[in-house]
A and B are shown apart, each in its own frame.
Chain A
Amino acid sequence: MANKSVWSDNRFWQRSAAWITGFASVLLIWLTFDTSAQISMGNDADLQNGVTKRVPGPTVINYKITYEMSQKRGHEVPIIGGNDGNGMSLFQEKETFFGRDDWSEEEAAELLHLGKLGSQVKNCMNCHTLLGNGAYYAPDLTKAWLDPAWGPNGSMQAMTGKDTKEEAMAEFLQHPSQYPTHERMMPNLGITAEEAKGLVAFLKHMSSIDTNGFPRNFGRMQGAINGK
């Protein structure tokens, strides 16, 4: 062994591989503990007490949600219940969701549960992207709740003939092929009225998740075609 370099020794590389793999795995597990704590879902008390969570509790559906620039973080962040002027949520301003802004923690959680189940069972992810992951055959749904097209002056709300964003979305989800927006249409997936309500709650909740500024400039660039 004396004349042989350690660099050409299989056992040296075997041990290196084991140590490197072990070290990377331990680091990943440690980071997973930290991340899991940071992305655990908040609750109604957090919203009442003005605690900002990366993934707010289900009762966030009782609040007005916007997506605004935070100077401190250098990108847009979800703002819940009004902006304090510095890109932080005030958790004050409410907004009705299917006519109510007092959904209890239990009711809201139930709706979100139904919506999340629905998002999987209806296979949303194999056409759309959610948080940017999925298929690319249909628009990203991360901030769909905040899309101007569904707003009071939006083309989608007008097309469905409904008075509110949530009713317009629910109507579209139940009868998508009645409201074609493009040659490429969404198929009828047998979504019931209750399931549609859940799905819209799921979308509203998803829009309140802090995605580190993804997508950039969402809904801010209307009509800016060909650089104009």
Chain B
Amino acid sequence: MASNHLTGIGSESKQLATWYFTFAAILFGAQLLFGLVAAIQYVMPGFLFEVLDFSVARMLHINALVVWMVFAMFGAVYWLLPDETGIETVGIKIGKLLYWVFVAAIVVVVLVYLFIQVGPADETSIWFIHEGREYIEAPRWADFGIVVVALGFVGNLFLTGIKGNRSGIVTVLMADMIAFAGLYLCGMFFTDNISVDQYWWWWVIHLWVEATWEVYVGAIAAYGLITMIGAHRKTVEMWLWIEVAMLFGSGILGLGHHYFWIGTPEYWWEIGALFSALEPLPLVAMFIHVLYDWGKTQGAEMANEHTDEDHVRSVIKNKPAFTWFVLNAFGNFLGAGIWGFFHTLPQVNLYTHGTQFTSAHGHLAFFGAYATILVGMMYIAIQGTNGIKVMKHTKSSIWAVSMITGGVVGMTVALTIAGYVQVLVSRAQMGATWAGYFDGQSGMWFAQAMDWRLIMGAVTFTGFLLLVKDFLSTGKNPVHER
């Protein structure tokens, strides 16, 4: 092998991975910062009114979210490719060039969002300011830039997979990443028909986060289990294929749960309900898989060493990363699975659709399913670049993970309560009108929930600051085994 997971030194692919992780972490901070602005505006509506309005703060909040995750996902693939394929990534020079193109494009997009904000209602605004479509607001010129960068990334992945050793993990990633990139094209057109607009918009959003991204997480979890606890590759990869079957089997047609109320035919009620109700199953499987493999390897270690509970060595080679991976297994199941299932049946969704319920689910799912495992991969990269054999927790790594997780769970609970108020008052009782909406928003429980969301958001942000501190300092910490 050209390099192994313990040392990223000398691998250009791994160096590029750390670049991707660095920019991802910066955008993660931006996501939280603009989230805080939006959360303050719920509590104090006059805050930055007509300076940085909710619409702008929220657009930056969710766009930074999507983009930091894409950056970290690309980074994680560049990190694992040399380990999996046994060779240096093919076309790494182009990969590095495209990285800078990507960063430059994102910086320009963010500056335009911040300082231009809105334009006249014409095509030029769509091309150069933003497209005004939730999650994929990036202006059209940037869409093309993103496609070029994504093609370069997929090209590198394919050429490396074909030339080197194509493991099961790499095979899954190749199939998954080409779908991931291809789906973006479904969001790159304008139509006057809003039903058609939202139909294809969901092809991007849903088939990303409830299909291709989940499969990606399965592949990364598999890699993590092999590198961090030395799980058996054949077992891990068998589970990975089962997960792919279950995730795509439920997730692709689970798309139907977004087609209940946007003008699309009634048959999506049945299709969406059935398949999206199955979506939590693979997430349960992934959760069991991680814990099962951990227990199994640890048990084998005990048997090998012929020792008792107190003297056996932990099989975990990277404690903070493994903590985040286990959180991923749990958070994915809870945030995406349970919180998603809450409101996925049309009988329930008729009232919950478009309320804070969705927002509660969104927060816990994006965190549980994606943020956790990507932060875990960043820790693996820190271990590798610093030549650490066994990476331990530090005070700040423990405080960071506790505060971020506690904060996100707190926000989720608060938003869920806010959602209940909205569903009961604005929707069931008041029939969803303008007046009904504000009756719900003025309710005491709603207002208190929004106060708690802000407090928990501040806890999350403090945890993030500790995480950054740990990222910057833990590499040189003498506590680790080298």
Contact = CB atoms under 8 A, between A and B. Distances in A.
A132 B353 contact: yes
Closest 3 CB pairs of A and B: A120-B132, A214-B261, A118-B121
Nearest to A23: B249
Contact of A20 (B59, B191, B245): B245
A212 to B, nearest CB: 6
30 contacts: A28-B255, A35-B264, A35-B268, A36-B196, A39-B193, A39-B196, A39-B264, A40-B193, A58-B192, A109-B192, A117-B190, A121-B119, A121-B122, A122-B118, A123-B132, A126-B59, A127-B55, A131-B198, A131-B263, A137-B38, A140-B437, A181-B434, A212-B260, A212-B269, A216-B428, A218-B431, A219-B431, A220-B431, A224-B430, A227-B429
Contact of A214 (B46, B130, B350): B350
Given A17-B245, A35-B264, A135-B54, A117 B198 contact: no
A217 B194 contact: no
Interface string A166-203: 00000000000100011111011111100100100010
Contacts, number: 267
A41 interface: yes
Interface string B122-135: 11011001111110
Interface of A: 8, 10, 13-14, 16-17, 20-21, 24-25, 27-28, 31-32, 34-36, 38-41, 54-55, 58, 109, 112-127, 129-140, 142-144, 147-149, 155-156, 177, 181-185, 187-192, 195, 198, 202, 206, 209-222, 224-225, 227
Contact of A212 (B242, B248, B266, B438): B266
B438 A21 contact: no
A180 to B, nearest CB: 10
A10 B238 CA distance: 5
Contact of B241 (A10, A131, A142): A10
B265 to A, nearest CB: 5
A118 B197 CA distance: 14
B49 interface: yes
Main secondary structure of the interface of B (DSSP, over half): helix
A225 B263 contact: no
Given A123-B55, A125-B132, A177-B50, A216 B193 contact: no
Which among A109, A127, A139, A209 has the greatest number of chain B C-beta atoms within 10 A? Answer: A139
Given A13-B245, A126-B58, A140-B432, A39 B354 contact: no
